[in-house]
Amino acid sequence: MQEFKPVMASVPGKARPIPYRLVPMDRELVPQIAELERQSFSLPWTEQMLYDELESLNSSCIVAVDGDRRVLGYASLTVAADEGYVNNIAVRRELRRQGLASDLLGVFLRFAQARKLAFLTLEVRPSNLAAIALYEKHGFRQVGRRKNYYDEPTEDAILMTRFFQPEEGAQ
């Protein structure tokens, strides 16, 4: 989790490796994560909601930061008994499609395997084709739908779940 990993920025004309590492969220990172939320979602989590996550015993946020502690992406997981719920995952717009979200999700997949969770599950907008493709690539399958789950705009939620067999290794 502390290891730096290279990722190529997709900023036109400025493609160069940007090393980053995955770290647990701390209070100092919260304002940047709230900004990323605002960039990514119509109903973003507030700073207060993120501080509450820090206090929660059942939740954990993992953050991709560069060498200057600039937040590049983040993801949030809540665990109840043997069930894992992926709350949020977001990557800075200019750094998408470089494998960052896959790295963040990979932390949760390995955690789920190590803790012998039965499954990881999440909700996603049907219009969010990028996220659906990301989850399908990591073994999540569409298992249900919640009618009018989202606001702004109103939209159903697709439920996606990755089940784990006791002997299965996470990817």
Ligand X SMILES: CC(C)(COP(=O)(O)OP(=O)(O)OC[C@H]1O[C@@H](n2cnc3c(N)ncnc32)[C@H](O)[C@@H]1OP(=O)(O)O)[C@@H](O)C(=O)NCCC(=O)NCCS
Q: Which chain residues interact with ligand X by CB under 6 A?
A: 40, 89-91, 96-102, 124, 128-131, 133-134, 137
Shortest separation between residue 153's beta carbon and ligand X, angstroms: 14
Shortest separation between residue 72's beta carbon and ligand X, angstroms: 9
Helices (H), the chain: 30-40, 47-55, 100-114, 129-137
HSE of 46, CA atoms in CB hemisphere, 13 A: 3
Select 43 or 114, whichever has its Cβ closest to ligand X: 43
Residue 23 contacts by C-beta under 8 Å, 6 or more apart in sequence? Answer: 1, 2, 62, 63, 65
Minimal CB distance to ligand X: which residue? 101
Burial of 68 (0-12, 13-18, 19+ CB in 10 A): exposed
Select 80 or 130, whichever has its Cβ closest to ligand X: 130
Shortest separation between residue 167's beta carbon and ligand X, angstroms: 26
Shortest separation between residue 164's beta carbon and ligand X, angstroms: 20
What residues are labeled active site?
Answer: 123, 135
Select 38 or 137, whichever has its Cβ closest to ligand X: 137
3-state secondary structure of 78: strand
